[in-house]
């Protein structure tokens, strides 16, 4: 099982990175990405520290941990330069906090994230067909999420991805130990969004492929 969207105490998560990784390992996860919330104020603070701890944890051989970042509530005009800066600093998984129904994310965030070539557009809410078609063409993954509130539009996201040929990944958006739902619940949540078994399996494979791309 893979979760490419997790948070530590470097943003609003409950755990230090080492415990976050250990909790994930104990829950049966093979790989996680630590993707703490960031904007201009902390991007250069978070990434070097996350890279260091990810290297230490991964070297132990129990779980693979990738350094990442989630750009959150930044102005759409700032997303592309911040994505570029984050990659230069060494972030391997780049997420943008999408236009979820449950938070006042600036309009235009989804489109800007896709245009910037983020790896994952998290909980994109009522993402439009135009945006999903662009995501498909650019290889930007749309997120099916197990997180309460953000998951309200999973069905819409799955349907639009199917229609437009966009790639999906499933993430927990983990903030606390209990957020690691495991493979059975994750698959059930995807089924609840109207996804077929074939689509669920393809989605899980997309996460594996994204890891390979990040490591290349």
- DSSP string across 113-127: HHHHT-SEEES--S-
The pTM of this model reads: 0.98
106, pLDDT greater than 90: yes
Q: Is the pLDDT assigned to residue 23 strictly greater than 90? A: yes
pLDDT band at 208 (very low <50, low <70, confident <90, very high): very high
Q: Residue 98: its pLDDT value, please?
A: 98
Average pLDDT, stretch 174-200? 97
Q: What pLDDT does residue 215 have?
A: 85
CATH code of the domain in which 21 resides: 3.20.20.140
pLDDT in tens, 127-177: 999 999 999 999 999 999 999 999 999 999 999 999 999 999 999 999 999
| Cα 150 to Cα 15, 76, 160, 183, 206, distances in angstroms | 21, 20, 16, 19, 20
Instruction: For 61-89, write each residue's pLDDT tens digit.
Output: 999 999 999 999 999 999 999 999 999 99
Number of domains in the chain: 1
* C-alpha span between 142 and 114 (Å, rounded): 10
Burial of 198 (0-12, 13-18, 19+ CB in 10 A): exposed
Q: Which range of residues forms the domain containing residue 190?
A: 2-215
pLDDT at residue number 216: 79
């Amino acid at each position: 099982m893979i979760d490419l969207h997790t948070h530590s105490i470097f943003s609003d998560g409950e755990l230090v990175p080492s415990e976050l990784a250990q909790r994930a390992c104990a829950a049966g996860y093979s790989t996680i990405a630590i993707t703490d919330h960031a904007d201009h104020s902390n991007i250069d603070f978070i990434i070097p520290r996350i890279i260091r701890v990810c290297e230490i944890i991964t070297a132990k051989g129990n779980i693979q941990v990738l350094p990442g970042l989630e750009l959150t509530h930044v102005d759409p005009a700032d997303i592309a330069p911040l994505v570029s800066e984050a990659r230069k600093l060494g972030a391997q998984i780049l997420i943008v906090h999408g236009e979820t129904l449950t938070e006042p994310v600036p309009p235009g965030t989804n489109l800007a994230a896709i245009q910037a070539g983020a790896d994952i557009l998290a909980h994109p809410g009522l993402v439009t067909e135009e945006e999903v078609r662009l995501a498909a063409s650019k290889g930007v993954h749309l997120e099916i999420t197990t997180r309460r509130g953000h998951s309200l539009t999973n069905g819409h996201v799955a349907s639009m991805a199917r229609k437009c040929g966009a790639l999906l990944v499933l993430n927990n958006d983990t903030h606390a130990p209990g957020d690691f739902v495991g493979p059975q619940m994750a698959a059930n949540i995807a089924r609840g969004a109207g996804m077929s078994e074939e689509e669920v399996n393809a989605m899980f494979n997309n996460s594996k492929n994204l890891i390979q791309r990040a490591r290349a």
